[in-house]
Copies of this chain bind each other. A is one copy, B any other.
């Protein structure tokens, strides 16, 4: 298939593709959210994953970022650099995985780019919206706030399918003081939230996925649950795991002992 043939095929699945840009209406009285996430062969996935899983997961990671801000996803761009081993069947399944999740969240595939590389590279951009000035940030946690997660943790070994927590994110608007998603492990991501808020944190207990260890939940990453904070006694849809404290910004303690903010660093792990 040449470029026009692939684009023609995608166009039938995504009616907005075809002109130089996708054109969509701007939502009224909203802030826009933009997020973009790479999915790269041998970095974010291996050839053991199916095309459908790779497409699904690529979109799920970006949707999780929208969820972390309390946003609603609207439009998606998918840029795909196919590898020498990629065939038409693979591409079809890949877009099936993408469309499955986008449809579930009423998000439109609006465009993208097609090219080729030695290893397969996909970049998924999602544009979402949130009420003006209402987005959940990482930077609002206060000493005394309770820390919550949206579900049990355990890292990528125990969490094969990402479920973007869009509903929970939207319910946290006006309630959570800070929020982010856990992509690189609870320890590293909570460290980032604390740095952004200028606070420290104390973890008492971590809800675990079946067969997962505490170390995996703290450091493995790719849980894609929401990590958020709220004042005590405020009703929020989460599992409490500890409290925000005063102290050196970014300092973490787990059951009284100092906790190193180790997690998954995408640049340090070169396959």
Contact = CB atoms under 8 A, between A and B. Distances in A.
A87 interface: no
Interface residues of A, number: 71
Contact of A267 (B32, B36, B69, B114): B114
Interface string A113-150: 11111110101010111101001011100000000000
Contact of A28 (B1, B20, B28, B66): B28
A78 to B, nearest CB: 9
A10 to B, nearest CB: 13
Interface of A: 1-4, 6, 18-38, 40, 43-44, 65-66, 68-69, 71, 75, 77, 79, 81-82, 84, 110-119, 121, 123, 125, 127-130, 132, 135, 137-139, 180-181, 192, 196, 265-268, 270
B26 A32 contact: yes
Contacts of A38: 79, 81, 113, 115, 123
Given A36-B77, A265-B2, A25 B31 contact: yes
A125 B33 contact: no
A160 to B, nearest CB: 21
A237 to B, nearest CB: 18
